[in-house]
Chains A and B, each alone.
Chain A
Amino acid sequence: MREILRNPAGLVGSVLLVIVLAAAVLGPFVAPYDPQQFHAASRLQGPSAAFWLGTDQYGRDLLSRLLNGAPATVLFGLGATALGVGAGSIIGVVAGVAGGRVDSVIMRVLDGLLAMPELLFTLLIVTFLGGGTSQAMLAVAVTFTPGMARIARSAVLSVRTRDYVQAAIARGESRAWIVGREVLPNALGPIIVEATIRVSFAIMIGATLGFLGLGAQPPSTEWGLMVAEARQFMFRNPWCVAVPGVAIAVTAMGFNLFGDALRDAFDPRRRRI
């Protein structure tokens, strides 16, 4: 952790992450208004003493909506990534450990899945799943799986030839023991680094799906959806699109910077650069 904070990018990333996570945890409790409550007399207003970030087309308080949407947005990123990374890692580790024909079949299938552009793939899946937050999360996870499987597999392969694994094999340890005690812990580093960076992608894709009407559905306070709903009114009150838009960017940037710093900390060779 100290490594990360010493890196300026890591420091900024950590600060942003703390802010975002704090909003996600405390947001709904500190929001000044009910995020769904109409203030019909104050529609589409800029920031004021009563509404710190202004109001949307129904006169709902933007700050309260932003704070309430934080957990949904962050959890979406974490959830989709966890699912994708989990599934991908299992597939990758199986392929890497099994080797031979199993490995080559799995790799062929993964190559096939990777032959689709990422957002197109997600879009098709989520259209067919029918839209909605959990469908979107599943779609992003499925999209992440092949890429994560490749990374996990190569991590396993690089660990497999290491001395300590060879030693364990020579000692006649069981395969499960070797995978569990030697291979996995050592292959975990690259997986975690990749996962952290992927969270920011997941948040961005989730928001994009929300924006396209395929993710979270009204009256959810998911940030991408907030932008989509207010788009028609963006020239009358730029705040109602700018506020959630900037929030998405800040969150994605936080995970991005933190992930990069994490990678540098794991990979000393890169730190020089």
Chain B
Amino acid sequence: MTEFMLKRRHVLMGMTATTLGGLALPGGLRAQDATPKRGGTLRISHTTRIATLNVLNLSGPAEYPVVDMLYSGLTRIGLDSMAHPDLAERWEATPDATEFTFFLREGLTFHDGSPCTAEDVVATYEAILNPDVPAAARSVLSMIDKIEAVDPLTVRFHLSTPFADLPFSTAHANARILSRAALAAPLTELDTKANGTGPFKLETYDSARILRMVRNDNYYQPDKPYLDAVEMLLFPDLAAESANFLSGATDVMLTVQQAEYARIAAAAGIEAQRVASGRYVCVVMRQDQKPWDDVRVRKALALATDRDLLVEVILEGLGRPAYDSLVAPELEYATEKPVIPYDPDGARKLLAEAGYPDGLKVELVASDRPAIRVQTAIALQQSAAAGGFDINIVTMPHDTYLAEVWMKGAFYIGYWGMQPTIDSTYKLLLTSDGSYQDTEWKNAEFDSLIAEGSATTDPAKRAEIYARVQEMELADTPYVVPFFEDVLTANSDKTFGWTVAPISRYYYTEDVWLDRG
């Protein structure tokens, strides 16, 4: 086996105990100036329930930070949106990217004191790949053919198809390492119990009010975490949450609403953070039927979308216009996308060419949750009217939407979080075998380029391939993507090192410290 390491920008491979969060902190300057203080309880407020702690399938906005504190994965995504070592201190891959070997740190233990070894990693991945277990990470790990424990500290993955981005997949928020014992017990126990390897240990969990975690003295990063404890406080209401945060009753407001951001950012003693992210709304146009099978109609809608208006009205300016590519500028190999101007006359012209000289009447479905979908539909209706689109909005409850429209409807509003790589972004929605392929755009050349990209380990070659697929996406406009939404969070000025990765779901709470002075 030729030794080879996946070269990444900004990453020193095999470097242990890197402060992931310290790389690009908004409050980083301050954090570097001062020496971290030990002790204290960090109080984080949130408004969505922590309904479960089951790391295999949870997906709640307040559940992600909790599992990020309780558990660790083989790898973890950093603020630079790259894969970094976590429980694995380094990894190797064969040049054809079909075999990966991860080397675990020595002396890892779970919170109950039992050692964390290669056997636990194998058991975890086998559970994730078991079709009888509901596991959210399976779709990004399905290329794993076999996984073996070479020795207590070495795990080897054999892949059925080449996949150079495996270290990104192993960083999936739902692919954290569980103990063999926990996996042998009934899996429903994972809902309320947690025996992980993360920087904090679960102390109390009351899904109606509070979740409290305390310092894990045996965390693999020496001297970390700085905090004695972290409390996740559920506020049933946004107004109550912000009032408590502004009065100093909590230290961190996990998520700030766009409508409130300006007020909170202006408050004394508060640091509000805007993290540019690749979270996007997309307009789904099903292309195996009229009218969306015609690229001119899709391009017409793209021209009739006033992206600046949408960013202003829906996001209160807290986001960036996107130009119909799912690929966020933060991702490795992302290309610069040309601006698509708001051009209703051009849209009308294209519609006329496509055979709709009198405009086009369409029905746009939007789920009622989260509200951003309906807001986008309303703004799009207004913006596109000038371009000849007569959009009738159908709003429906989320359960009906999931059961009847999602993956089936002809024209509806999608909403997705940022993915860690170009490969995972496209495999989510655009490749013919994409997990949630809902446009029937299906392009064989695109598919084979994506496959080639993930089988190639040469960065220059990958850059070339990914530039080509992004070009293809822009040429065909399979989705209208009007904007990328920023991730918004806030902390008191006595809290240091708090931040969120652009991809969200990763929080680096082990680097946070308090100085209530």
Chain A interface (Cβ within 8 Å of chain B)? Answer: 36-38, 40, 43, 57-59, 130-131, 213-214, 217-219, 232-233, 236
Contact = CB atoms under 8 A, between A and B. Distances in A.
Given A217-B394, A236-B259, A36 B382 contact: yes
A219 B257 CA distance: 21
Q: Which are the 8 A-B pairs with shortest beta-carbon distances?
A: A217-B395, A219-B378, A218-B374, A232-B259, A38-B382, A131-B397, A218-B395, A213-B368
Interface of B: 238, 257, 259, 309, 312-313, 366, 368, 374, 377-379, 381-382, 393-397, 400
A131 B259 CA distance: 27
Nearest to A36: B382
A40 B309 contact: yes
A232 B203 CA distance: 35
Contacts of B396: 130-131, 217
Contacts of B393: 217-219
B259 A130 contact: no
A58 B375 CA distance: 9
Given A131-B396, A213-B368, A232-B259, A218 B313 contact: no
Nearest to B262: A236
A233 B263 CA distance: 12
A270 B16 CA distance: 87
26 contacts: A36-B378, A36-B381, A37-B382, A38-B309, A38-B379, A40-B312, A40-B313, A58-B313, A131-B368, A131-B397, A213-B368, A213-B397, A214-B397, A217-B368, A217-B394, A217-B395, A217-B396, A218-B366, A218-B374, A218-B377, A218-B378, A219-B381, A219-B393, A232-B257, A232-B259, A233-B259
Nearest to B259: A232
The prevalent SS among residues of B at the interface is: helix
Contacts of A40: 309, 312-313
Given A130-B396, A131-B368, A213-B368, 4 more contacts: A40-B312, A59-B313, A131-B396, A232-B238
Contact of B378 (A58, A213, A236): A58
Nearest to B238: A232
A233 B394 CA distance: 24
A130 B399 CA distance: 9
Nearest to A59: B313
Nearest to A58: B313
A12 to B, nearest CB: 36
Contacts of A37: 382
A189 B401 CA distance: 46
A43 B313 contact: yes
B24 to A, nearest CB: 31
A233 B260 CA distance: 9
Contacts of B374: 218
B397 to A, nearest CB: 5
Contacts of A236: 259
A38 to B, nearest CB: 5
Contacts of A214: 397
